[in-house]
Structure 1
């Protein structure tokens, strides 16, 4: 987060405002091209085979390929993604949100190229490719398979998952009828992705993981912002162990006892007790001696 803040102070003025709207407008252009000229539409896809043949515009143009066929529910979903995208932009700031979107696009492109070069020979069995397809023909088929999995669907999904991580208890109306917390929809999407990876294997796994890598990175930042780091979790566990070990240790059933004055909560129910992180052992102090005692 500190690194992003430094970048924002230096390059924040170059951030694109309302980048979600630009993505949706790109989909509109993609839908128009798809209806007018299907051959031109296929020239937009992220196909590593053709990129290696010099069609480098595909590195960027695939962002225009819509995540699904145009229909009523697709339009509703695009409005929904626009809404949550604007909320994320307002929550994180447009620079960090730009980084989130752009990094997702870059990770997807890199993963597609990596998958193209390291696609295992088992692809023949998984995707039912005839063994006679070798050499240049096999490279063409690999490129086609990868382009079929690369989609802006996962970019949109990463936006949704980030929103669910920030606002897990927000309620939405599924199909305008069923009230449901957004975190359960996120869990459902993750389960469906796991099934897709199981069903389609290596290529799908690489593309999905890379497409959502930006979400994983920002999710860690969210946990850090909320104080849910491994170090904090460990301190919480240690504290709970100390509290548990101290229960019913003292006479009269007191759970807390100051190591300096010997007072317990039975002497004064309003006293606050804390363990000192700098003292060894389970030494507990009342509020009057917590900051004034000599560490042992």
Structure 2
């Protein structure tokens, strides 16, 4: 993160506070325009073919489209709740990261998404790739879950679930969606925005992997210690696990305490 610190030192004044709230307000305005029939949802999405045809505004307008268009007032309630959760997570990330890093994280997500869309369209020219701003929400959610894994959300307002498990469920569904996509171009466009997450959290992911490996090694050594016999005869290698009926005693041999079972002691005595 030293590079980010240097970048923030020189460009921090460009950061926009509450940038996610600004996006939410813009999406509310667009949603109101959709309800009145003045704007169509598909007319704002990032579609590389449409941009090639001269609809350059799609390079920016896709960021202010709502995540989806509710079909009923009941679904509109969930949309409002979705926006609230998005705002809450952005506030937490802004407090943990600072304004500049959150801005930079969102900006890199957008740049990767745009580049991925055009690269994907180039690879799959016969298909039509379109990008909605859902990747921003999912990227923010993954970032929030990585930094605050044990915070609980109430699923259906009843069931408490830690955010880290919700993140794994999201990743699982994303993998299924990725496999179901028709072309490699679509897959590239889908994956590209999340490169920003990998860049920002590569240190966290590496530390998490190292920590898991250390815990696994410690657990393996602990089990080996528990499974290892406490007493082992130096003459016949019998121990209390392989021969529980034997009696093991210690004696001093050349100033060293050695273990001998009763069978070997009796054999030595008879000799």
* TM-score, with length taken from structure 2: 0.72
Match of 1:177 in 2: 158
1:53-76 superposed Cα distances (whole Å, 9 cap, x missing partner): 232221111111111123111111
Per the alignment, in what secondary structure is the counterpart of residue 153 of structure 2?
strand
Matched ranges for 1:218-233 at <5 A: 218-223=200-205, 227-228=207-208
Match of 2:105 in 1: 100
Matched ranges for 1:25-44 at <5 A: 25-37=25-37, 41-44=41-44
Match of 1:2 in 2: 2
- C-alpha distance in 1, partners of 2:159/2:212? 35
**Once the 2 structures are TM-superposed, how far is the Cα of residue 20 of structure 1 from its aligned partner?**
1.1
1:71-92 superposed Cα distances (whole Å, 9 cap, x missing partner): 1111111101100110001100
Match of 1:210 in 2: 192
- C-alpha distance in 2, partners of 1:39/1:90? 35
**Once the 2 structures are TM-superposed, how far is the Cα of residue 37 of structure 1 from its aligned partner?**
3.5
- C-alpha distance in 2, partners of 1:209/1:198? 11
Moved runs in structure 1, 4+ residues, more than 4 A? 38-41, 227-230
- C-alpha distance in 2, partners of 1:178/1:228? 27
- C-alpha distance in 1, partners of 2:164/2:158? 17
**Once the 2 structures are TM-superposed, how far is the Cα of residue 184 of structure 1 from its aligned partner?**
1.1
Pair 1:76–1:218, CA change in 2 (3 A): same
1:211-252 superposed Cα distances (whole Å, 9 cap, x missing partner): 21211222214346xx5475x888x58x969x88xx79xxx9
- C-alpha distance in 2, partners of 1:233/1:171? 23
Structure 1 residue runs of 5 or longer lacking an equivalent are: 121-137, 254-296
Cα RMSD (Å):
2.8
Match of 1:80 in 2: 85
Pair 1:115–1:86, CA change in 2 (3 A): same
- C-alpha distance in 1, partners of 2:58/2:102? 24
Residue pair 1:196, 1:204 contacting (<8 A) in 2 also: no
Residue pair 1:27, 1:65 contacting (<8 A) in 2 also: yes
* TM-score, with length taken from structure 1: 0.67
1:167 aligns with 2:148: yes
Match of 2:138 in 1: 157
- Equivalent pairs, count: 221
Pair 1:208–1:12, CA change in 2 (3 A): same
Matched ranges for 1:1-80 at <5 A: 1-37=1-37, 41-70=41-70, 71-80=76-85
- After the TM superposition, which of the residue ranges 35-44 and 157-166 deviates more from structure 2? 35-44
Structure 2 residue runs of 5 or longer lacking an equivalent are: 71-75, 232-271
Larger radius of gyration: 2
